[in-house]
Amino acid sequence: MRLALIGQQAFGRAALDKFRERGDTIAGVFVAPEKPGTKPDPLRARAEELGIPVFQFQRYSGEDALGTMRGLAVDIAVMAYVTQFVPQSFVSIPKHGTIQFHPSLLPAHRGPSSINWPIMLGKTETGLTIFRPSDGLDEGPVVLQKKIPIGPDDTLGSVYFDRIFPQGVAALVEAADLVLAGRAREHVQDESQASYEGWVREAESKISWGLPLDVVYNLIRGCNPQPGAWTTLGGKRIQIFDSRKLPARTFGSVKGLKLGQVAAMTAEGFTVHAHGGFIEVLRCRIDNGAKIAGKDAGIATGAILE
């Protein structure tokens, strides 16, 4: 097939490599402009290395962007991790339209942090969707979906890098083949089942030690490695990454401890009291320092995290 790729970062680069390995023709690559002083986007760098034309527009609704897409005369456009708004006037230009990747089972978890939230909410399953982009946010007809399990100790990193990333790239290729062959069974999203969550940022990633142990652990998992669930000690911010959940078997094991109190040091880190047990902190960051092992954080038994 002859296609245009719209995307960025490592996921966009992987999609480019996958289509190219099959012998498909990538007529052009559209990448969001980088901020001044930052490194070239990985997708842009790969395309330039391969001699593929690269286009960077501040907006896709302008005649310069529309004219460029028309001139490429592609069969299909593929959106692989796109953060800019792309209007219908642009995505409808290719002969067979455009398909887009989203890392959740739409219509659930529309929005920018759609991998974090299912983990943070304690779900045991998520997925990915290839759909037709519309002018609404993640609202277009579904072309293809893949379910992905979430294990009890999975993190954002393991779910994304081990499953959603490779399966998402493969699904884009599969969906493009179905569309060009006329075998895609598209269906409209059920709005009664739709949900939307915004970015997981500072407010959303703050740990409240008074919440149940499972809720705290799910928050830490869903924010590992980004943005990092956090707490404070003596005015310093402590981000918690790798951790273990240690349920309390009896009330006696937590008797006399305050919520958020460091209960003990372990061979790998330190344990913090939450409702129903402990979080063992294995890897953390203090303020703007490097990530370190929990055992090297210098946090004393009895300290209270807030």
Question: For residue 11, what pLDDT band results from cuts at 50, 70 and 90?
Answer: very high
| Gap between the Cα atoms of 170 and 179, Å rounded | 14
Q: Is residue 222 located within the same domain as residue 90?
A: no
Q: Which residue has the tokens 């869903």?
A: 222
Q: Is residue 93 located within the same domain as residue 240?
A: no
- Domain of 13, in residue numbers: 2-193
In a domain, 239, yes or no: yes
In a domain, 175, yes or no: yes
| Gap between the Cα atoms of 199 and 202, Å rounded | 9
In a domain, 205, yes or no: no
In a domain, 301, yes or no: no
Q: Is residue 12 located within the same domain as residue 74?
A: yes
pLDDT digit string, tens, across residues 268-304: 999 999 999 999 999 999 999 999 999 999 999 999 9
Report the pLDDT value the prediction gives residue 140, as an integer from 0 to 100: 96
Identify the domain boundary among 164, 193, 222: 193
Identify the domain boundary among 162, 193, 224: 193
Q: pTM of the predicted model, to two decimals?
A: 0.93
The enclosing domain of 30 has a CATH number of 3.40.50.170
The enclosing domain of 278 has a CATH number of 3.10.25.10
In a domain, 130, yes or no: yes
Q: Is residue 134 located within the same domain as residue 7?
A: yes
| Gap between the Cα atoms of 87 and 220, Å rounded | 36
In a domain, 200, yes or no: no
Q: Is residue 10 located within the same domain as residue 118?
A: yes
Number of domains in the chain: 2
| Gap between the Cα atoms of 305 and 278, Å rounded | 13
In a domain, 265, yes or no: yes
Q: Is residue 53 located within the same domain as residue 9?
A: yes
Q: Is 27 helix (H, G, I), strand (E, B) or coil?
A: strand
> Which of 236, 222, 214, 220 minimizes the C-alpha distance to 282?
220
Q: Is residue 69 located within the same domain as residue 185?
A: yes
pLDDT digit string, tens, across residues 106-149: 999 999 999 999 999 999 999 999 999 999 999 999 999 999 99
Judged against a pLDDT cut of 80, whether residue 251 lies above it is answered with: no
Q: Is residue 55 located within the same domain as residue 8?
A: yes
Q: Is residue 168 located within the same domain as residue 253?
A: no
Q: Is residue 245 located within the same domain as residue 118?
A: no
Q: Is residue 60 located within the same domain as residue 145?
A: yes
Identify the domain boundary among 134, 164, 193: 193
Q: Is residue 186 located within the same domain as residue 223?
A: no
In a domain, 117, yes or no: yes
> Which of 22, 129, 23 minimizes the C-alpha distance to 79?
129
User: Tell me, what amino acid is at 1?
Assistant: M
Report the pLDDT value the prediction gives residue 253, as an integer from 0 to 100: 74
